Amino acid sequence: MKAHDGIYLDGAWRPALSGEVIDVVDPVDEQVIARVPAAGAEDVDAAVRAARAALPGWAPTAPAERAARLSALRDALAARKDEIAGTVTAELGAPLAFSQAVHAAVPIAVAGSYADLAARHAFEEKVGNSTVFHEPVGVVAAITPWNYPLHQVVAKVAPALAAGCTVVLKPAEDTPLVAQLFAEAVHDAGVPAGVFNLVTGLGPVAGQALAEHPGVDLVSFTGSTAVGRSIAATAGAAVKKVALELGGKSANVILRSADLAKAVNVGVANVMSNSGQTCSAWTRMLVHRDQYDEAVELARTAAAKYGDRIGPLVNAKQQARVRGYIEKGVAEGARLVAGGAEPPRERGYFVSPTVFADVTPEMTIAQEEIFGPVLSVLRYEDEEDALRIANGTVYGLAGAVWAGDEAEAVAFARRMDTGQVDINGGRFNPLAPFGGYKQSGVGRELGAHGLAEYLQTKSLQF
Ligand code: NAD
């Protein structure tokens, strides 16, 4: 595949000083499809300097100008939507239809939403005898994962640019190609040199150098809890702002009055899509004991339909990790009703759609984020028990509630310790704040709440 052999720095592609490279692998056939630079600390430093130098020019631009650039960025991405989908399919392994419908379409919509928000947002307000200005935080370090590779880039870079911040992006090492495509789109959108910079590289090298850099004002990170914790500690010591979007172990709570078949089928689809590599996936299905056997049977049938339709996991490490969790589920006494640890194919990082029954709340597979196509079905006694189970993990990112009566579902959802809840299959809303309670993270992405993360206030009194 086509790839740049440089990093995007101060408006141009330049060779990385490190001289190191990363092999990009197609997870379907395990072949190297491209090579990109593995930037080092000196490259990161150059990128942060470029972003710092561009800040005084970009921060005071009129919101209408920033909106115009973001609108051009949306158009540049939309014009290349097929290329985006093909690139994500090549480096992540997602089936092409899913790449088109989600990996390409969602970030285009999100970029468009920030073009609108930049134009409409009140960057200035009156509070009594004060005028409050909402000013950009400064230089943003955006560190993103591979699971929704373009969405996560756009969900950070678009609001940062809308706010008037400048950015250095370090995308995941598994999916740098769509990040390069994004940099081309930013360039074509006429965003001034230095406002956006891309350094491809390894997490513990380029990622760490970026998170620690004194020239960065805010680190926005999405990924594992372990790395998030260390970034937060480093940023805390430097009194630097952080936004963290970490993992989840979201509950899909099916109340007794719900349409059971619909709730189970949508629930299984939610877990299997993107091969389970979704931080907000409803990986714990909670079913009343009287409906439990029927729900397990429905889930087994639904999972079987996915058979060969889901893609592989992103890499060998993730495949091994997910298989390890499946083995652990069996070892701890859960009952395997679909799939299993044995890979369905010899080549590629595939894992079969897997469903566990008789999962109890304290089991590892009910507590830890697996990040693969693995569903745990848990039994509850009554609503209080369901709530205890739903809230009984360190996470609180998303969730679902199903009930015959919407008000009943809403009443339950209001008691859940989680940042988003879909009621009776409510659709994803790219304007709704997305982010976690508890250890699922700090801060919110998307919509006006996502924009606010990149702004700080200055009050003038009269
Ligand atoms: P990771 O946290 O290691 O990687 C995420 C990003 O952080 C990547 O860009 C990576 O290069 C960078 N990074 C890694 N180490 C770093 C460091 N020391 N300093 C700065 N940046 C660093 O995640 P992973 O290893 O790719 O995946 C492991 C697990 O993380 C998954 O199984 C899943 O549970 C979780 N995860 C969650 C999300 C999410 O959306 N919340 C996304 C990806 C992974």
User: What are the DSSP calls for 334-356, one per residue?
Assistant: PEEEE--SS-SSSSSS----EEE
- State which ligand 1 atom lies nearest to the alpha carbon of 152: 40
Q: Is 269 exposed, middle or buried (0-12, 13-18, 19+ CB in 10 A)?
A: middle
Best residue for ligand 1 mutational test, from 24, 106, 168, 224 (most atoms within 8 Å of Cβ): 224
Query: Which helix or strand (DSSP H or E) is residue 43 part of?
Result: helix 41-58
The predicted pLDDT at position 64 comes to 98
Per-residue pLDDT of 350-364, as tens digits, reads 999 999 999 999 999
Q: Sketch the domain layout of the chain as residue ranges.
A: 7-246+439-461, 251-429
Residue 145 CB–ligand 1 contact under 6 Å: yes
Please give the distance, rounded to the nearest whole angstrom, from the Cα atom of residue 35 to the centre of ligand 1.
20
Residue 443 CB–ligand 1 contact under 6 Å: no
The residue to which tokens 């158009």 are assigned = 75
User: CB of 404 within 8 A of CB of 359?
Assistant: no
Per-residue pLDDT of 273-329, as tens digits, reads 999 999 999 999 999 999 999 999 999 999 999 877 899 999 999 999 999 999 999
Q: Which fold has domain 251-429?
A: Aldehyde Dehydrogenase; Chain A, domain 2 (3.40.309)
- pTM of the predicted model as reported, rounded to 2 decimal places: 0.98
Residue 223 CB–ligand 1 contact under 6 Å: yes
Residue 175 CB–ligand 1 contact under 6 Å: no
- Of the candidates 91, 212, 245, 445, the residue annotated as catalytic is 245
Catalytic residue at 165? no
Return d(Cα 51, Cα 196) in angstroms, integer.
7
- Give the gyration radius of the chain's Cα atoms: 22
Per-residue pLDDT of 117-176, as tens digits, reads 999 999 999 999 999 999 999 999 999 999 999 999 999 999 999 999 999 999 999 999
Catalytic residue at 279? yes
The two domains 7-246+439-461 and 251-429 share their CATH topology (first three levels equal):
no
CATH number, span 7-246+439-461: 3.40.605.10
Query: Which helix or strand (DSSP H or E) is residue 11 part of?
Result: none
C-alpha distances out from residue 419 to 27, 174, 218, 238, 394, Å: 32, 28, 22, 28, 13
Residue 207 CB–ligand 1 contact under 6 Å: yes
